């Protein structure tokens, strides 16, 4: 179904090579960023595709325009700390024209708003730098309101200056509490503010375009998204848990692109010439390529040069860690390879429990996402990287180690590949439907597991939380509907929509690219973009999925069989908190045969769980943490009186240490002294421990109480 939809999108695309935008308005004091012809074409194309093919079928009208406008202003200045009230009044004229701008590919209005924002940003940071010449009185009774999203925008420049003066005072006070040397503190803060200015001046028109497209797509629905080329590359790395490059993570430090980690076995590691904190000052493509100096570059742009297709050569000029800026860099030549991000893949551990003198072993498999290497999959590589392949290997290992049951940990797993959710479910059932998908024509497709093989037939639980979403909800919902396993944790996110990832290079072909290059005066100049595409990627909502029982997970998510209090605020995070989200609904259930039914054992399991929680110090501390978070979340200001703030901080620090030690003792771990760091691999995850205990209870129940028959 999705291949057909993709084909329709590509074939039906009505392309315009040149829009006729209104004349851009210059904003003195900003970097006066302006859109290019390519962004105009992409904008118009995205507007057309969303209008015609998005599942919600939303008309771009004045009503939507106002939603886009409000979201755009919020993205730029959610805390009401940059724009003046007069700026917002000036922008009012755009409230009902952004829909027309989007359809015409006119980005001038959106860029004008951003340039005003950048002007204000630069003004306020420069004002903050000037404030460092002042002497502040930290004995005054004064309060800084740091959370301003519910307050009006400052009415005058004097109001804005007063607010920023307080912010500078708060930043200095924070440093003063740690170090009494005010001259050094001011120098530290000066460097921090100068770094903010430097980063602001590195913003490009791609950043502005991304902000505006985010405001537009999220006004339609929360999961239709446009990714510019660099963000598209990062998204696909997340999906595949692989990348093609040198095998090193990079960060920007003091204008240098700096090596922060090296992947074992990758090209950087095998070169034996690259170390942590080395700095990359130049990048060249191929053996004969010319070096481009990357000092002062934005990290995303430098990464785009360093990444690239496996098998190709990249040369780096490396300044060793600690070497002076004038030192001669060494040249390191490497052949790019495919890098598997093992730290971001499924992992296992085995936990042991005692049940009436008998040791019970529970295997825990943590799955961070439903990932797949689509390129390898499409190429027919049988060993393509995927969640299902990794979990199957882990299950084989756990069975050899004779575990009595398993827990699949999907907490904070935001989803990923729909296909992987289906394939993973298939590891635990023989055959049958896994999910139903309804498209824009109201046609329902039932996606099945057709493989009769079962990788694991023993007792299982699935641990979820509020950030378990999308593919996580498909999997946990199917496991619950089949009665195949116990769902433990909190209500899930509630994302019940399906997105198709559309490579806009496939839609906007080479003739359009050549035309854009001519219009932009690009000539024949080629710019290396590593593994990035040219136009970016659109993740378009094209369908809605439903459980095999007929219920949508949209809005409501999956409700656990045994619930835990949520550390994540349910009223702040979740699909039901998104204004543009689709509603919950129900379709007809599909035909499937349950493999078990926990109805008879759940009361007993809940009783045992509740008995433990009633006397559990860990559970009590978790409830206190939730209450403390709600209290802190309601606060929006802080004192600027040094004595009062120090007293408050000392009390908070003492309370945190005491609370942490109480948690540790409750889990059988030794208390820590002030300043002592906890051991690296220490596990304080009480919820995971209790999930294993619930599975131990289930395994230990008498057979007559167990209604589930393993397949």
Q: What is the pLDDT of residues 206-226, one digit of tens each?
A: 999 999 999 999 999 999 999
Residue 351, beta-bridge partner list: 362
pLDDT at 343: 65
pLDDT at 547: 97
Q: Are 463 and 411 in contact (CB under 8 A)?
A: yes
Q: What is the pLDDT of residues 381-421, one digit of tens each?
A: 898 899 999 999 999 999 999 999 999 999 999 998 999 99
Q: Point out the least confidently predicted range of 109-113, 156-160, 515-519, 542-546.
A: 515-519
CA–CA separation, 260 and 281 (whole Å): 15
Q: What percent of the chain has pLDDT over 90?
A: 66
CA–CA separation, 60 and 268 (whole Å): 49
Hunting for tokens 């297709």 — which residue is that? 309
Interaxial angle between packed helices 686-700 and 617-633, expressed in degrees from 0 to 180 and rounded to the nearest 10: 140
Nearest 5°: the CA angle 57, 59, 61 is: 160
Length reported for the chain: 711
Question: Does position 4 have pLDDT exceeding 50, yes or no?
Answer: no
Q: What is the pLDDT of residues 338-389, one digit of tens each?
A: 877 666 789 999 999 999 899 999 999 999 999 998 878 888 989 889 999 9
Mean pLDDT calculated for residue range 569-590: 93
pLDDT at 251: 86
For the chain, give the mean pLDDT: 88
Q: Chain-centre distance of CA 237, in angstroms? A: 12
Burial of 140 (0-12, 13-18, 19+ CB in 10 A): exposed
CA–CA separation, 524 and 518 (whole Å): 9
Strands 405-409 and 358-366: parallel
**pLDDT interval class at 524 (50, 70, 90):** very low
CA–CA separation, 17 and 44 (whole Å): 10
**Predicted structure pTM score:** 0.82
CA–CA separation, 429 and 587 (whole Å): 23
Active-site residues, by number, are: 470, 481, 495
pLDDT at 137: 95
**pLDDT interval class at 14 (50, 70, 90):** very low
Q: What is the pLDDT of residues 128-156, one digit of tens each?
A: 999 999 999 999 999 999 899 999 999 99
Question: Does position 3 have pLDDT exceeding 50, yes or no?
Answer: no
pLDDT at 711: 43
pLDDT at 709: 47
pLDDT at 216: 97
For 9-167, strand residue ranges (E) read: 143-145
Q: What percent of the chain has pLDDT over 70?
A: 91
pLDDT at 342: 63
The residues, ordered by sequence, that sit 6+ positions from 117 with a Cβ below 8 Å of its Cβ are 76, 77, 82, 83
Q: Are 520 and 474 in contact (CB under 8 A)?
A: no
Q: Point out the least confidently predicted range of 94-108, 205-219, 329-343, 556-570.
A: 329-343
| Token code pair at residue 237 | 């790395």
For 286-423, strand residue ranges (E) read: 292-293, 313-319, 330-335, 337-340, 347-355, 358-366, 405-409
pLDDT at 161: 97
CA–CA separation, 263 and 277 (whole Å): 14
Question: Does position 612 have pLDDT exceeding 60, yes or no?
Answer: yes
From residue 653, give the alpha-carbon distance in Å to each of 272, 649, 658.
43, 6, 9
Write the secondary structure of 649-671 as one string of H (helix), E (strand) and C (coil): HHHHHHHHHHHHHHHHHHCCCCC
**pLDDT interval class at 22 (50, 70, 90):** low
Strands 405-409 and 460-464: parallel
Question: Does position 315 have pLDDT exceeding 90, yes or no?
Answer: yes
Q: Are 230 and 210 in contact (CB under 8 A)?
A: no
Q: Point out the least confidently predicted range of 292-301, 591-600, 650-659.
A: 292-301
Q: For residue 546, which phi and psi values (nearest 5 degrees)? A: -135, 150
pLDDT at 510: 56
Nearest 5°: the CA angle 384, 388, 394 is: 105
Mean pLDDT calculated for residue range 50-62: 92
**pLDDT interval class at 307 (50, 70, 90):** confident
């Amino acid at each position: 179904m999705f291949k057909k939809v993709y084909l329709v999108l590509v074939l039906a695309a009505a392309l315009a090579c040149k829009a006729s935008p209104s004349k851009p308005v210059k904003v003195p004091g900003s970097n006066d960023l302006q859109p290019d012809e390519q962004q105009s074409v992409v904008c118009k194309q995205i507007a057309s595709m969303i209008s015609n093919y998005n599942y919600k079928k939303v008309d771009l009208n004045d009503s939507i325009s106002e939603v886009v406008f409000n979201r755009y202003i919020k993205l730029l200045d959610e805390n009401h700390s940059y724009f003046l009230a007069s700026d917002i009044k000036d922008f009012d004229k755009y409230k009902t024209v952004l829909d027309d701008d989007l359809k015409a590919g006119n980005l001038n209005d959106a860029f004008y708003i951003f340039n005003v924002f950048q002007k204000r940003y630069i003004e306020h940071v420069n004002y903050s730098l000037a404030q460092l010449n002042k002497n502040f009185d930290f004995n005054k009774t004064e309060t800084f309101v740091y959370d301003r999203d519910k307050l009006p925008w400052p009415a005058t420049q004097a109001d804005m200056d007063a607010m920023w003066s307080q912010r500078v005072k708060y930043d200095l006070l924070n440093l003063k509490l740690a170090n009494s040397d005010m001259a050094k503190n001011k120098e530290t803060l000066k460097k921090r503010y100068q770094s903010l200015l430097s980063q602001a001046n590195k913003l490009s028109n791609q950043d502005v375009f991304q902000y505006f497209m985010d405001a537009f797509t999220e006004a339609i629905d929360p999961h239709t998204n446009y990714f510019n080329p660099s963000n598209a590359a990062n998204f696909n790395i997340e999906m595949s848990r692989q990348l093609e490059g040198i095998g090193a993570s990079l960060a920007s430090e003091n204008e240098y692109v700096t090596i922060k980690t090296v992947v074992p076995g990758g090209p950087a590691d095998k070169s034996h010439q690259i170390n942590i904190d080395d700095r990359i000052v130049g990048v060249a493509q191929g053996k004969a390529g010319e070096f481009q100096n990357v000092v002062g570059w934005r990290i995303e742009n430098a990464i785009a040069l360093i990444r690239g297709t496996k098998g190709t050569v990249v040369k780096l000029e490396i300044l060793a860690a600690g070497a002076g800026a004038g030192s001669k860099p060494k040249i390191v030549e490497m052949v790019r390879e495919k890098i598997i991000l093992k730290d971001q893949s499924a992992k296992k551990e085995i936990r042991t429990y005692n049940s009436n003198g008998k040791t019970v072993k529970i295997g825990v498999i943590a799955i961070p996402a439903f990932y797949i290497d689509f390129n390898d999959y499409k190429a027919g590589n049988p060993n393509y990287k995927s969640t299902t392949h990794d979990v199957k290997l882990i299950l084989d290992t756990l069975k050899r180690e004779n575990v009595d049951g398993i827990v699949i940990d999907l907490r904070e797993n935001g989803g990923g590949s729909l296909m992987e959710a289906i394939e993973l479910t298939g590891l635990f059932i023989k055959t049958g439907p896994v999910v139903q998908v309804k498209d824009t024509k109201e046609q329902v497709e039932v996606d099945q597991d057709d493989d009769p093989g079962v990788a694991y037939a023993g007792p299982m639980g699935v641990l979820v939380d509020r950030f378990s979403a999308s593919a996580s909800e498909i999997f946990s919902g199917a496991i619950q509907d089949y009665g195949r396993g116990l769902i433990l944790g909190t209500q899930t996110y509630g994302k019940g929509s399906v997105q198709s990832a559309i490579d806009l290079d496939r839609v906007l072909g080479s003739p359009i690219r050549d035309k854009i290059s001519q219009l932009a005066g690009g000539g024949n100049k080629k710019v290396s973009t590593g593994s990035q595409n040219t136009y970016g990627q659109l993740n378009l909502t094209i369908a809605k999925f439903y459980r095999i029982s007929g219920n949508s997970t949209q809005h409501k998510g999956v409700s656990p069989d045994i619930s835990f209090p949520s550390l994540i605020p349910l009223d702040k995070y979740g699909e039901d908190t998104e204004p543009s989200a689709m509603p919950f609904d129900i379709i007809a259930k599909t035909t499937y045969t349950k493999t078990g039914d926990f109805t008879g054992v759940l009361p007993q399991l809940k009783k045992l769980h509740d008995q433990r929680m009633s006397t559990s110090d860990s559970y009590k501390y978790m409830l206190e943490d939730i209450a403390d978070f709600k209290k802190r979340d309601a606060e929006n200001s802080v004192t600027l009186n040094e004595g009062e703030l120090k007293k408050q901080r000392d009390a908070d620090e003492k309370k945190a240490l005491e609370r942490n030690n109480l948690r540790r003792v409750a889990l059988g771990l030794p208390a820590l002294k002030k300043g002592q760091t906890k051991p690296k691999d220490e596990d304080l995850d009480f919820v995971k421990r209790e999930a294993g205990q619930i599975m131990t209870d289930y395994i230990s129940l008498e057979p007559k109480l167990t209604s589930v028959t393993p397949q």
